[in-house]
Structure 1
Amino acid sequence: MGKARLWTCLCLVIFSGTVMLGQAQSQGEGKTGLVYWIPLNQTIEQGLTAYLERTFSEAEEAAADAIVVEMDTLGGEVNAALDIGKLIGHSDIPVSMYIKGEAISAGAYIALNADTIFMTPSSAIGAAEPRLITGETADPKTVAFWASNMRAAAEANGRDPDIAEAMVDRNIAIEGLTERGELVSLSANEAVEYGMADNIVQNQQDVLDEIGYPKASVVEMDMTPAERLARILTSPYVVPILFLIGLIGIGIELFTPGFGFPGVLGLLAFGLYFFGHFIAGFAGVETVALLVAGIVLILLELFVPGGILGVLGFIALITGIIMAAFDAMFGIVSLMIAMVVSAVILVLSARYFGTRGTWRKLTLTDRQQNEAGYVSSRSYKELEGKRGMSVTPLRPSGIMMLDGKRYDVVSEGAFVAANQPVVVVQVEGSRIVVRPSGETVQFHHNES
């Protein structure tokens, strides 16, 4: 009995040792897992949002264990950064930020939304003061708004909100770090020292070690060609150019006969605008429908002149443009600027190169000069005394046929049926007075 107990205890010791050894070996080797590696090494623009939404969605569908965003950016658009920051902050999968180069301006805000931040020795983070497209500092209201978002991102992940706010607002001083009038920008060592980053790493493997998946399967993501094109086409620098090309191209078609290269180029510019915003997720099916309707109506105007179809097509096109813009006010302002510039260009072109085609149909180009024999209206004095035939009833006005030509005439007072012989009794300018030819004719001449 004693031997049996001894053997039982010995087996338990051996089993426990084996389990502990296995656990130690497992810890030494590190966990395996699935990590999605997403590069963000460009200017922060609206087109990036769709790209990150797609990659994050794919990571969720694949049940990834972690997401690493590799960052190297000098900043970009505030609105785009807010959208990306919210995407990272609301992710169900832990997100780590690997700052390989710079996380400046909008990049700093995006980085602060991550669960963990790792930086290479030469990297930096901060200097997030919002600026206008002209390079000037934004108004105090915008600065305060951006600073509050920086604070919120820092607080959500256990980082110093005062330092985050000082990256935006020059009026905030951090003792031992920066004085009033300066923006906070941290090196890698400073970021770790002040708790704004978790550690300094050298490469991808170091990041995997830090997040606890040293043996992970890494899925490296990248932008598709369509996403790259959408990023360019939705740039605030490119959108006004597309508007300008589109408006000038369509405008030139009004000055030239037929439908040629300028019109094709104009429609292509608007088509690229809608394509980029559709891929980026800003334009829906309804905006594409407005685009198609606008183009069809404008083309119909070329074959069915009158102006109504063209106006409706232009309204549909403009409405679709504004609806497709990532920011309606930006779309309206850009479009108005493009319309003014294109109008100036078209007017100057018409002045120096003349007008032809559809535009010529809408404008009076003939010049009537007295020296060339023009008078305000044609005189039919030579018709007095001539006889013709009423084509329509004269009640008292109608139409007469005389010498194979039709004339608008009025009867002297009596009703004249159709197909009755009449005689011209008086002409006053372009007014021709007739009476049935069976009556005595007396001519009335105006004294000049």
Structure 2
Amino acid sequence: MFKFIVNTTSVLMDVIMRRYLFFIAILLSYPAILFAQKVVEISIDETINPVSAAYVSKGIEYASKERAECLLIQLNTPGGLLKSTRVIVSAILESPVPVVVYVSPGGAHAGSAGVFITLSAHIAAMAPGTNIGAAHPINIQGPMDSVMNNKATNDAAAFIRSIAEKRKRNLEWADEAVRKSISITENEALNKSVIDVVANNTTDLLRKIDGKKIETSAGVKILHTRAARIEPLTMSTTEKILNLLSDPNIAYILLLLGMYGILFELYNPGAILPGIIGVICLILSFYTMHSLPINYAGLALIIFAIILFLLEIKIVSHGMLAIGGAISLILGSMMLIRSDSSLELVKISRGVIVSSTAITTLFFLFVIGVGLRAQRAKPVTGIEGLIGEVGLSLETLDPRGLVRMHGEIWKAESISGKIDKDSKVRVVAMEHMNLKVESLLNG
């Protein structure tokens, strides 16, 4: 009996020790597990363009490579290019890692293209004091072609319905957001099943989405984000520069500066620097414009305006050519960027257009005009500056002698006969450093 009790006790102690060691191992490894959990964060706080599309794709690739729990996109955008939006949405839908779009901070807006991006996320979240909805910017060059606009709107509506259906979000609201430009607050969006979470901040968001089951292109994943560390992934310097250049206003200004530089170089051969700057500005503007909906009629009007300004310098038109150039520049600037859909937020600021037109007009009328008039003016220095000048004969010119001109003594030859001493003479030519003069009495 005693032996039985001893054996039983030994077995129980062995089981207890194994379980104890098992729990100890778990507790020791738990901090390492927590430390391994990572959330990659990127921030989009501008219009949607090709650079931001590449930035999102870069974030997804990096999060996948680092085996992050998810990619967190901090979003605040008024909209942008639909083509770039489609690239971003496609990247999110095919992402192997969960993508969380968080409209923040307070006061932020997911407008137009931002609606598509938010709805495509595996988890859509908003901060208090934010809103979501289509913006429908008004184009400053007037209403677009109704047929083309309706075609683009129908296409965008079908696109956003397919996104909402895949993510099981409010299909009806998604369609109205495109067609009727409806915008709602974060609480309304939560109640209408447009988004999944309203979170006060990033920490609150990661706590609320912890444990959620997400279906990605790589399979089902359960999020462990409560104690995950956030690793920001910022744009590189090159991406920041390219993102800045993607602004239509910057592209427009670079285009004008490029034209000014080239023209200045043509009118002042050998200046070199204006030509170099002009070519660089033109190349940068063309880089930007290749991704923008450019209206070539507007570009032609801008070039025509520059030609009119140049003609105003060459031809006396009493300001008519300058007025025509200013009108052509304004019309061309308003027409330069023309979107096929009112859903795209792509335009040049009215203030930039007005100020650029005014500066261009003054530049050509005064700066270049003064420069060209100075080139055409009679020389006042050097040998050429002596032609037509008046001096005094120091001795009788019959026909040769000495004259005083600009405080200097010159050899001179009279072409108007004998000239008495102390007579006023005028220079009419110069030959081999000898002045050809005539008497003012005969002139």
Letter in 2 for 1:343: I
Question: What is the match of residue 80 of structure 1?
Answer: 84
Question: What is the match of residue 285 of structure 1?
Answer: none
Paired residue secondary structure (2:178): coil
**Alignment partner of 2:284 out of 272, 279, 290:** 272
Does 2:6 correspond to 1:41?
A: no
Q: Sequence identity of aligned pairs in percent?
A: 25
**Alignment partner of 1:52 out of 34, 41, 56:** 56
Question: What is the match of residue 252 of structure 2?
Answer: 240
Query: Which sections of structure 2, spanning at least 5 residues, go unmatched?
Result: 211-223, 317-368, 377-443
Quick one: structure 1 residues 67 and 244, their matched pair in 2 at CA, closer, same or farther if it must change by over 3 Å? same
Cα deviation, residue 167, structure 1: 0.4
Paired residue secondary structure (2:249): coil
Paired residue secondary structure (1:347): helix
What are the Cα deviations for residues 91-150 of structure 1, in whole angstroms up to 9, with x where unaligned? 211100111122121111111111001111211111254754658577211211211121
Quick one: structure 1 residues 227 and 264, their matched pair in 2 at CA, closer, same or farther if it must change by over 3 Å? same
**Contact 1:325/1:331 (<8 A) preserved:** no
**Alignment partner of 1:146 out of 153, 156, 163:** 156
Cα deviation, residue 46, structure 1: 3.1
Question: What is the match of residue 231 of structure 2?
Answer: 219
Q: Structure 2 matches for 1:379-390, cutoff 5 A?
A: none
Moved more, 16-25 or 339-348: 16-25
CA distance in 2, matches of 1:36, 1:46: 21
CA distance in 1, matches of 2:60, 2:230: 14
**Alignment partner of 1:70 out of 74, 82, 93:** 74
**Contact 2:197/2:205 (<8 A) preserved:** no
- Give TM-score scaled by structure 2 length: 0.58
**Contact 1:244/1:342 (<8 A) preserved:** no
Q: Structure 2 matches for 1:27-38, cutoff 5 A?
A: 31-32=34-35, 33-38=37-42
**Contact 1:255/1:350 (<8 A) preserved:** no
Moved more, 31-40 or 133-142: 133-142
CA distance in 2, matches of 1:2, 1:113: 67
Does 2:203 correspond to 1:201?
A: no
Cα deviation, residue 335, structure 1: 4.0
Quick one: structure 1 residues 69 and 334, their matched pair in 2 at CA, closer, same or farther if it must change by over 3 Å? farther
Letter in 2 for 1:243: L
CA RMSD of aligned residues (A): 3.6
**Contact 2:78/2:135 (<8 A) preserved:** no
**Contact 1:256/1:355 (<8 A) preserved:** no
**Contact 2:110/2:132 (<8 A) preserved:** yes
CA distance in 2, matches of 1:130, 1:7: 80
Question: What is the match of residue 93 of structure 1?
Answer: 97
CA distance in 2, matches of 1:233, 1:110: 23
Cα deviation, residue 67, structure 1: 0.4
Question: What is the match of residue 187 of structure 1?
Answer: 185
CA distance in 2, matches of 1:249, 1:114: 46
What are the Cα deviations for residues 330-360 of structure 1, in whole angstroms up to 9, with x where unaligned? 274564343233223333333364997xxx9
Quick one: structure 1 residues 154 and 20, their matched pair in 2 at CA, closer, same or farther if it must change by over 3 Å? farther
Query: Which sections of structure 1, spanning at least 5 residues, go unmatched?
Result: 171-182, 278-323, 361-448
Paired residue secondary structure (1:39): strand
Q: Structure 2 matches for 1:17-416, cutoff 5 A?
A: 31-32=34-35, 33-100=37-104, 101-129=108-136, 132=139, 134=141, 139-170=149-180, 183-209=181-207, 210-211=209-210, 212-273=224-285, 325-326=290-291, 330=294, 332=296, 335-351=299-315, 353=369
Cα deviation, residue 166, structure 1: 0.7
CA distance in 2, matches of 1:355, 1:67: 58
**Contact 1:96/1:114 (<8 A) preserved:** yes
Cα deviation, residue 164, structure 1: 0.6
Quick one: structure 1 residues 249 and 151, their matched pair in 2 at CA, closer, same or farther if it must change by over 3 Å? same
Cα deviation, residue 47, structure 1: 2.9
Letter in 1 for 2:125: F
Letter in 1 for 2:129: S
**Contact 1:129/1:169 (<8 A) preserved:** no
CA distance in 2, matches of 1:124, 1:27: 39
**Contact 2:252/2:285 (<8 A) preserved:** no
What are the Cα deviations for residues 154-177 of structure 1, in whole angstroms up to 9, with x where unaligned? 12211122211110112xxxxxxx
What are the Cα deviations for residues 389-411 of structure 1, in whole angstroms up to 9, with x where unaligned? xxxxxxxxxxxxxxxxxxxxxxx
Quick one: structure 1 residues 136 and 68, their matched pair in 2 at CA, closer, same or farther if it must change by over 3 Å? farther
Letter in 2 for 1:326: S
What are the Cα deviations for residues 285-321 of structure 1, in whole angstroms up to 9, with x where unaligned? xxxxxxxxxxxxxxxxxxxxxxxxxxxxxxxxxxxxx
CA distance in 1, matches of 2:266, 2:233: 47
Moved more, 136-145 or 120-129: 136-145
Quick one: structure 1 residues 348 and 185, their matched pair in 2 at CA, closer, same or farther if it must change by over 3 Å? same
Quick one: structure 1 residues 124 and 31, their matched pair in 2 at CA, closer, same or farther if it must change by over 3 Å? farther
Letter in 2 for 1:74: P
| Equivalent residues, number | 298
Letter in 1 for 2:184: L
What are the Cα deviations for residues 55-80 of structure 1, in whole angstroms up to 9, with x where unaligned? 33333332322100011222223222
The structure whose RCO (Cα within 8 Å, separation 6+) is larger is 2
Question: What is the match of residue 409 of structure 2?
Answer: none
